[in-house]
A and B are shown apart, each in its own frame.
Chain A
């Protein structure tokens, strides 16, 4: 099932045109918002999959990275009047430091599989409570508000439309990067780590190094996503960017979409975001636990029905043995 080059090009071109034209359509504001969130989720999931899918180091701590990215902008702005662009850079650097601080001891001393996941969960929870309790700096549970003047000076024109184009570019960048990684030595080595760490080590894979690089890269991209969040919402709360619920959302979407594939998380985000946003708008502020419950049910279904996610399901349906992820290599033979 390989499309011809010309057809593929036309399909991609028309997709690109649709994506570029969306903001110019007379869509209801809420629908436009959901589309932006869709790209935002797809971006975060694509960033997650580099470590959580390719290397199967399932992290539920990625909310920490979103949070640091978002809060660095808010905190540095409110305390030192630092422009969000510099705030974002500081956020990314800080996130990489946090990721290495968590990753090095875990990966160095063989904290594998579920135990690594527990460690990342702990990070997510600890960070949530730290931010809530540091009220003087972070605004506690109420969060930080970014004055509209700052944003409009940054984004000029219409905030929503500019935000849309920013997140679209960010998403395609992440997607391109994920694809590039999967079809490289780095990607093969992450696959080796995913499949069997001992065998990978015996094949000459420096698993500590590759895991740390994957985690840092994923964390840095995620922090950039957090920075986008801060600018788009101009209001950061602990519940919005921190804690397990945010982590679960990223992981669920990625796994449901297919975490072995560079395009899988985007598929997951595309399918699930409209659903969760609808539930959210229906419930309003009530029953805050419901989305978490739904993610849980969804994960159960995925684990039973399609362990490789929707993408795995589709590709096995099409008869392409793409379960490797990087298998493009052998298809050419």
Chain B
């Protein structure tokens, strides 16, 4: 499989704190990659570096072989690298429909074309019934779906999902995982899921990368990662 996204030797500091320390991660074409790690491991920082909200002190990010390290987020979004936010960031005072419209307008200037894309995306994510609701008052589960709907309307190639499963009920979690898998199958998306609900990813991901204190400590298929003593130590402590 071809590599679509490559993070090479990335280091990111915040003052004296090293959030990412020489991190290497690759995402292959049409792969679902799980990125796990305890709180403060640098997972969200890595997403922020990939999509351009942060610039790393060292290292590069490549998308389809092109160096995109210094591109701003909106340029990366247009190239096809999109993200959702851990703390959902809906456009609060507008309807669910209009939220998705803003995503859909990325690849078209025509409102009617964007409306069609929006409808498709809403149907896909099961949000059609709430399309007219102002997004401020939505429950968490629906807001997470909205994040996905908005980002889908942008027709990305690489999707970075930042803790879309956290805070959901087990049933909702399964639904979202099914949705994610169908996105890979139907749209051919390559997906990076950041999560600290490890169990969910064991089922959903092809491969898992474990971050701890800004370093990659394990990488491989879910089963082998789960057995890795280093990973157990990070999550459960030394026995």
Contacts and interface: CB of A to CB of B under 8 A. Distances in A.
Contacts of B42: none
Nearest to B109: A185
Interface in B92-149: 92-95, 97-98, 101-103, 105-106, 109, 111, 114-115, 119, 131-132, 134
Interface stretch (A115-123, A134-142, A192-200): A192-200
Contacts of A204: 73-74, 77-78, 103, 106, 154
B132 A330 contact: yes
A188 B75 CA distance: 18
Given A183-B111, A185-B109, A195 B94 contact: yes
A225 to B, nearest CB: 29
B93 A333 contact: no
A199 B90 contact: yes
A185, A192, A202, A204 — most chain B CB neighbours (10 Å): A202
Contacts of B105: 185, 188-189
A57 interface: no
Interface string B34-78: 000000000000000001010000000000000000001111011
Contacts of A101: none
A196 B93 CA distance: 10
Most chain A CB within a 10 A radius of its CB, from B101, B102, B154: B102
A35 to B, nearest CB: 34
Interface stretch (A88-96, A215-223, A244-252, A321-329): A321-329
Lowest 3 CB-CB distances: which A-B pairs, in order? A204-B77, A195-B91, A324-B94
Contacts of A191: 91, 94, 98, 102
A246 to B, nearest CB: 29
Q: Which of B51, B91, B103 has the most CB of A within 10 A?
A: B91
Contact of B89 (A199, A205, A321, A326): A199
A205 B98 contact: no
B77 A203 contact: yes
B6 interface: no
Nearest to B73: A201
Interface of B: 51, 53, 72-75, 77-78, 82-83, 85, 89-95, 97-98, 101-103, 105-106, 109, 111, 114-115, 119, 131-132, 134, 150, 154
Nearest to B89: A199
16 contacts: A183-B111, A184-B111, A188-B105, A191-B94, A192-B102, A196-B90, A201-B72, A202-B51, A202-B83, A203-B77, A204-B154, A321-B95, A324-B98, A329-B97, A329-B101, A332-B115
A329 B98 CA distance: 8
Nearest to A201: B73
Contacts of A260: 93
A16 to B, nearest CB: 27
B53 A195 contact: no
Given A185-B105, A191-B102, A333-B97, 14 more contacts: A184-B111, A201-B72, A201-B74, A202-B77, A203-B74, A203-B102, A203-B103, A203-B106, A204-B154, A324-B134, A326-B94, A329-B98, A329-B115, A330-B97
B195 to A, nearest CB: 19
A178 interface: no
Contacts, number: 104
B21 to A, nearest CB: 25
Nearest to A307: B93
Interface in A85-140: none
A2 to B, nearest CB: 15
Contacts of A321: 95, 132, 134
B102 A323 contact: no
A34 to B, nearest CB: 35
A195 B111 contact: no
B132 A192 contact: no
B115 A202 contact: no
Given A199-B90, A323-B94, A188 B101 contact: yes
A228 B109 CA distance: 34
A327 B51 contact: no
A49 interface: no
Nearest to A209: B74
B92 A195 contact: yes
A47 interface: no
Given A198-B53, A199-B90, A321-B132, A188 B102 contact: yes
Contact of B111 (A196, A201, A329): A329
Contacts of B114: 185
Contacts of B119: 333
A73 interface: no
A325 B98 CA distance: 10
Given A196-B89, A196-B91, A202-B85, A323 B134 contact: yes
Contact of A327 (B77, B95, B109): B95
A185 B102 CA distance: 8
A207 interface: yes
Given A183-B111, A185-B111, A329-B111, A192 B91 contact: yes
Given A189-B105, A199-B85, A206 B74 contact: yes
A101 to B, nearest CB: 22
